[in-house]
Amino acid sequence: MNTITIKRFVLLAALALFSHAQLSVAEALTPSEARSIAKQAYTYGFPLVDHYRVQYTYFHDRQHPEFKAPWNTLHNTARIYTPDDKAYPTPNADTPYSQLGADLGSEPLVLTMPVVEDGRYYSAQFVDAYTHNFGYVGSRTTGNGGGTFLLVGPDWQGSVPPGIDRVLRSETRFAFVFYRTQLRGADDLENVKKVQAGYKVQTLSAFLGQPAPAAAPAINFPPPLSAEAERSDLAFFKQLNFVLGLSPIHPSEQSLMQRFAKLGIGPGLSFDEQALPVEIREAIRAGIADAWQDFEALGQQVARGEISTSRFLGSREFLANNYLYRMRATVTGLYGNDREETLYPPFYLDAQGQKLDASRHRYTLRFAPGQLPPVNAFWSLTLYDAKRLLVANPLNRYLINSPMLGNLKRDADGGLTLYIQHQQPAAEQLANWLPAPDGPFYLAGRLYWPKAEALDGRWQAPKVERY
């Protein structure tokens, strides 16, 4: 038994002591304390539970319409996302995806990237079960010249073989690798397919031509809660316990786990809502509601421009255990990139400070001359409905991006005005129309590989105006 495994065993054994006295401890809790713990545990755990839901759907449930491929098998989506894609919010529609659900329990994986022509952006984003981004490969970080990369789990202590350019270590046994390959237009799809065909995944033993090691113990994955049930069902905490049981607890969170254990929440523990007094159950429900109130309050700060969404995404070190930020990122844009990879200027409100609603107003978004988003790769503006899903429309146009500039109509002064509304605009505005639903909507800007002036604030996104 290696050192990491021993430490994990000791921690689980210590936490298990709490489970024997769960009922008596819960009875000793005041409803106020139970409510406070539930709020904190829910905020902390929502990203883990929601990520599990998506990963189960993508890589375990072969009957689900969103199933991609078995674990450790790369799946290429050689198309753009449409309104029919509903697995998670704010899907990207201008970089076709490739997805890898990595189970690193038995051995590492070797990921090979092809040479990609200059000028075409691509990236591979590495995400652990906590939803932290723990590494990148691609245009910004490693260039377009290809390479071979080793993805290892938390317990792996082997030797790095020759031919490996970089090692990426996941904090958790299960990791998600999310590839994005730039699509320059509908007629470019075959070129994207060629790039995707060059993405290769092997086990380390296959890469070395050696026998495979013994398989890791099989896991009985429980069906996930629905996205709706995650928001209020107390079974949420049972699911959280399962995910935490698969995920090493970070040293900075051990005291947090001891606090959660008072409610039977944590790795190796059993959360039994029926064993809890009625007043404690109601306090836990109130704690979940409190978490959503904090979530909404943070959203209002974002909408007013007081906090940038770029602060919500990144590594464990970058987020510094700000669990509300992590929850906000999960709900509004699960698997979003680090700010250095993609900057996401949001458009929640119009210039009058009111929520965007195409059933009440028509809108414009104008980029003054020389003020298009500054990027090393490309930019896009995607429209979503109130559920943060793509909107069906007669043009099948879900976004406007920089590769489309040649087909857009410029203003007399060289600026660019986009028309955002539900009804088809006048003929002279049609080229620049971004169709909206007959109701509330949200605009998501994306600056891929943003330049310094976007990162440091010298460039500011324009306001959405009514017209």
Q: What is the DSSP string of 266-298?
A: STT----GGGS-HHHHHHHHHHHHHHHHHHHHH
Residue 233 reports pLDDT greater than 90: yes
Please check whether residue 464 is in contact with residue 364, taking contact to mean a CB–CB distance below 8 angstroms.
yes
Which among 331, 273, 270 is positioned nearest to 298, based on CA atoms?
A: 331
| Nearby residues of 421 by Cβ (< 8 Å), 6 or more positions away | 358, 361, 362, 363, 433, 435, 436
Q: What angle do CA 371, 374, 375 make, to 5 degrees?
A: 155
Q: What DSSP designation does 215 have?
A: P
Amino acid (1-letter code) at residue 352: Q
Structure-derived torsion over alpha carbons of residues 413, 383, 231, 176, reported in degrees to the nearest 10: -100
Q: 347-378: b or e for each residue (b if 16 or more CB lie within 10 Å)?
A: bbbbeeeeebbbeebbbbbebeeeeebbbebb
User: The whole model's pTM is what?
Assistant: 0.89
Residue 23 reports pLDDT greater than 60: no
Integer Cα distance of 253 and 169 in angstroms: 19
Which of 20-24, 209-213, 426-430 shows the lowest mean pLDDT across its residues?
Answer: 20-24
Which among 295, 77, 353, 101 is positioned nearest to 189, based on CA atoms?
A: 77
Integer Cα distance of 74 and 336 in angstroms: 20
Q: What is the CATH number of domain 345-466?
A: 2.60.120.1600
Cα separation of the two ends of the chain? 68
Instruction: Give the architecture-level CATH label for domain 68-208.
Output: Sandwich (2.60)
Backbone φ and ψ for 420, nearest 5 degrees, come out as -120, 110
Tens digits of residue pLDDT in 338-363: 999 999 998 989 999 999 999 999 99
In percent, the amount of the chain with pLDDT more than 70 equals 94
Tens digits of residue pLDDT in 28-52: 899 999 999 999 999 999 999 999 9
Integer Cα distance of 32 and 37 in angstroms: 9
Predicted pLDDT at 27: 54
Integer Cα distance of 187 and 189 in angstroms: 6
Structure tokens belonging to residue 261: 């254990």
Tens digits of residue pLDDT in 169-218: 999 999 999 999 999 988 899 999 999 999 999 999 999 999 999 999 99
Integer Cα distance of 34 and 280 in angstroms: 6
Please report the DSSP string for 142-170 in residue order: T-SS-EEEEEE-TT---PPPTT--EEEE-
Per the prediction, the chain carries an average pLDDT of 93
- The Cα-based distances of 395 to 194, 365, 387, 392 in angstroms read 27, 19, 21, 9
Backbone φ and ψ for 216, nearest 5 degrees, come out as -70, 155
Integer Cα distance of 400 and 433 in angstroms: 9
With 0-12 / 13-18 / 19 or more C-beta atoms within 10 angstroms meaning exposed / middle / buried, residue 436 is buried
Q: What DSSP designation does 134 have?
A: E
- Residue that the structure tokens 């629905």 belong to: 226
pLDDT band (50, 70, 90) for residue 7: very low
68-208 matches 345-466 in fold = no
Integer Cα distance of 283 and 181 in angstroms: 46
Tens digits of residue pLDDT in 98-147: 999 999 999 999 999 999 999 999 999 999 999 999 999 999 999 999 99
Question: Domain-by-domain residue ranges, the chain?
Answer: 31-54+222-332, 68-208, 345-466
Q: What angle do CA 100, 101, 102 make, to 5 degrees?
A: 105
Integer Cα distance of 51 and 97 in angstroms: 17
Structure-derived torsion over alpha carbons of residues 429, 430, 432, 435, reported in degrees to the nearest 10: 120
Amino acid (1-letter code) at residue 259: R
Q: 291-326: b or e for each residue (b if 16 or more CB lie within 10 Å)?
A: bbeebeebbeebeeeebebbebbbebeebeeebbbb
Structure tokens belonging to residue 277: 């007094």
Amino acid (1-letter code) at residue 180: R
